[in-house]
Amino acid sequence: MSEYINEIDSKLNDLNSIKNQRKLNYTIFELKNSISLFTVLVLLTGCAYFNTFYNAQNYFDQGMKSVKDDTLKYDNEYFDKTIEKCASVIVKYPESRYVDDALYMMGVAYYFKGDYSRAIDKLEFLTTNFPASKFYDDAMYYIGLAYYKIDKLSKSIIALKESARFKNCRKKAGVMLCYAYFRDGNYRDLMNTAHLLLKENLKRRERLMILNILGEAEYLLKEYDTALKTFDEIKTLQETTEEKKKIKLRIANIYMEMGRYAECKNFLENESDPEFRMLLADLNVRIDRIAIAKEIYIEIKETQAPEFAAKALYELAQIAEKDDSLELAIAYYDSLIPKATGEILNKAKTRSEILKKISELKNKTEEPDKAQFSLGELYFIEVKDIKKAMEYYGNVYKNYPKSILSPKALYANFWISKMILKQDSLAQVFVDELIKRYPDTEYAQSAKNLMNSK
C-alpha cells in the first residue's frame, strides 16, 4: 500500500487541471447514452480500473458494517484494504470520474483507523476541489469529527455547521455540534442549537444525547430549575433500570447543590438502592441530622454491596472522629479495609494509623509535654483539625510552662493565627505571651519579625 500512498499527494495536486478534462469526458458519456455504463468503463479505463474501484467500494462497505453510531465496534482489515485500493484509483486513474468517491472512502477509512490528520487531509481536498460532489456534506461531517478528536474545536465547529446545512446531515452534525460547543465551553450556542434540534423528528437515542448535553450545560450555567426540567424529561425517556437510576441520582445531586434539601429528601425517601440510601444519609449529615444519618449508614454497611458498605463504614468512622470516639472510629476504619479498594482503602488505612498514634499518645503517661506537643502536630499536619491542634499546643505551654517545647508550641499557635486564620489580633496576643514568657528564645524574635513584616 505504501507504494501508492507516496504518490497520492503529487497526483492530487494535478487534479484541478484534470477537472476540466473530466467535463469533456462527461460530455462523451452523455453522447454515448446508448452504451451501458459498464461498457463505457471498459472502453475508457479498462477492466483493471473497474475492478480496482469495485474492490475499494466493496472493502469500504464491509468496513462500515463494523461501525455503529460513528464508532468502530471491532478492528478489521477492510479499511486498510479500502485505503490501498483507493490509493490505486487516485494514482493510476487521476482523470477518473470516481476520484471524489475514492477520496471520500479513503478519508473515512483513515478516520476509523484513528489517523485523523490523514483523514482531514483527504476529506478537505475533496471538499475544496469537488464542492459539487455528492459526498460533500458527509465529508464535512467527518472533517468535523476528526477535528473534534484532535481537540481543534474551532475547526470542528466550522465543519459541523457547514455539514448541518444539508438535510441529510442536519441531525447527526447538529448533535456533534452540541458536543463540540460543550467541550469548547460555549454553552449558550450549545443551548440554541439543542433547542432547534429538539424540534426535529428525532430518534430516542438522538433526543437523549441532546437532552443530556443540554442539561449539563444548563447546570454549568447554574440554571438549576431549567436543568431539573431537562433531566426530568430524560427520566421519562429512559428504558432500563440503570439508566433511570443514573438520571435520578443526577437530579438528587442538583437538589442537594441548590440547598433544596426537603425536595431532595422526598425524592430519595422511597428508594431502596444502596447508592440512593448513601445520598440520603449524606443529606442528613448536611442538615445536621446525624443520628438519622448514622442509622442509614449502619443499614448500608450490612448490605451485600461492598462498595457502598465500605463508604458507609468510612462515613461512620468520620462521625466517630468528630465525636472524639477514637476507638470506635478505628474499629470502623479497620472493618472497611477488607471491603474497600482504591482511594477509600488508602484513606482508611492512613486514618486508622493516625488515630492509633493519637490514641497511644493520649494514653501515654511518660513525658506528657512531648505527648501533648506530638498530638498538636498530628492534628495540625495529619488530621488537619486546626482547632484541636491549637488546643493540644496550648496544653503544652499552659500545663508545662518550663518544658523546652513550650515556646515552640506557643509559636505554633501564633503562626496558625497569623498565617492560616489571618487573625492578626489573636496572633498579637500570642506574640505578647511569647515575649513575656520566653523573651530570649528564637521563637519570640521570629514572631516579632513576622508580625512587623508586611
Could you tell me if 247 and 235 are in contact, meaning their C-beta atoms sit under 8 angstroms apart? yes
- Mean pLDDT along residues 203-228: 94
Residues of the chain with CATH 1.25.40.10: 272-355, 368-452
Residue 314: burial class (beta carbons within 10 Å; 0-12, 13-18, 19+): buried
Count of beta carbons in the 10 Å neighbourhood of residue 106: 30
pLDDT, tens digit, 9 for 90 and up, residues 384-443: 999 999 999 999 999 999 999 999 999 999 999 999 999 999 999 999 999 999 999 999
- pLDDT tens-digit readout, 182-205: 999 999 999 999 999 999 999 898
pLDDT tens, position by position, 367-389: 999 999 999 999 999 989 999 99
Backbone phi, psi, residue 198, to 5° = -65, -15
Return the pLDDT at 34: 39
Share of the chain above pLDDT 70, in %: 89
Contact 433, 442 (CB under 8 A): no
Q: What angle do CA 407, 411, 415 make, to 5 degrees?
A: 175
State the chain's mean pLDDT as an integer: 88
- pLDDT of 46 over the 70 cut: no
pLDDT over 50 (residue 44): no
Q: Cell triple for residue 114?
A: 484513528
The predicted pLDDT at position 304 comes to: 80
Question: Distance between CA 160 and CA 390 in Å, rounded?
Answer: 60
pLDDT of residue 239: 86
- State the DSSP code for 77: S
pLDDT at 313 over 80: yes
Asked if residue 348 lies in contact with residue 340, where contact means CB atoms within 8 angstroms, the answer is yes
pLDDT of residue 348: 94
Q: Which of 176, 182, 106 lies closest to 145, judged by CA?
A: 176
CA 48 to chain centre: 50
Weakest mean pLDDT among 65-74, 83-92, 154-163, 167-176 = 65-74
Tell me the pLDDT band of 14, cut-offs 50, 70 and 90. Answer: low
What's the whole-number mean pLDDT along residues 151-172?
96
Give yes or no for a contact between 104 and 135, defined as CB atoms under 8 angstroms apart: yes
- Residue range 293-312, pLDDT digits in tens: 999 999 999 988 889 999 99
All three cell numbers of 283, joined, read 443529606
Give the pLDDT band (50/70/90) at residue 89: confident
Nearest CA to 51 out of 15, 109, 92 is that of 92
CA atoms within 13 A on the CB side of 285: 17
- Match domain 272-355 to its CATH number in 1.25.40.10, 3.40.50.1820, 1.20.930.40, 2.160.10.10: 1.25.40.10
One-letter identity of residue 271: E
Residue 275 CA neighbour count, 13 Å, CB half: 10
Q: Helices 224-237 and 241-258: crossing angle, nearest 10°?
A: 170
Cα–Cα distance measured from residue 445 to residue 438, given in angstroms and rounded to the nearest whole number: 10
> Is a pLDDT exceeding 70 seen at residue 148?
yes
CATH 1.25.40 fits 199-265, yes or no: yes
In this predicted structure, the answer to whether residue 214 has a pLDDT above a threshold of 70 is yes
Give residue 21's pLDDT. 47
Superfamily (CATH H level) for 368-452: Tetratricopeptide repeat domain (1.25.40.10)
Per-residue pLDDT band for 335 (boundaries 50, 70, 90) equals very high
Please tell me the predicted confidence (pLDDT) of residue 29: 43
Confidence band of 12 (pLDDT split at 50, 70, 90): low
pLDDT on residue 43: 47
If you average pLDDT over residues 274-294, what whole number do you get? Answer: 94
Q: Name residue 332's amino acid.
A: Y
DSSP type of residue 36: -
Mean pLDDT of 64-74: 85
Count of C-beta atoms within a 10 Å radius of residue 45: 19
What band does 112 get if pLDDT is binned at 50, 70 and 90? Answer: very high
At residue 24, the pLDDT reads 37
With beta carbons less than 8 A apart as the criterion, state whether 254 and 279 touch: no
Instruction: Give strand pairing partners of 72.
Output: 67
User: Widest CA span of the chain, in angstroms?
Assistant: 116
CA distances from 395 to 253, 408, 409, 431, 436 (A): 42, 12, 9, 17, 18
> 41 pLDDT band (50/70/90 cuts)?
very low
Burial string for 196-217 (b: 16+ CB within 10 Å, else e) reads ebbeeebeeebbbbbbbbbbbb
Q: Quote the pLDDT of residue 93.
A: 84
Burial class (CB in 10 A: 0-12, 13-18, 19+), 439: exposed
For the chain, the 3-state helix, strand and coil shares in percent, each to the nearest 5, are 75, 0, 20
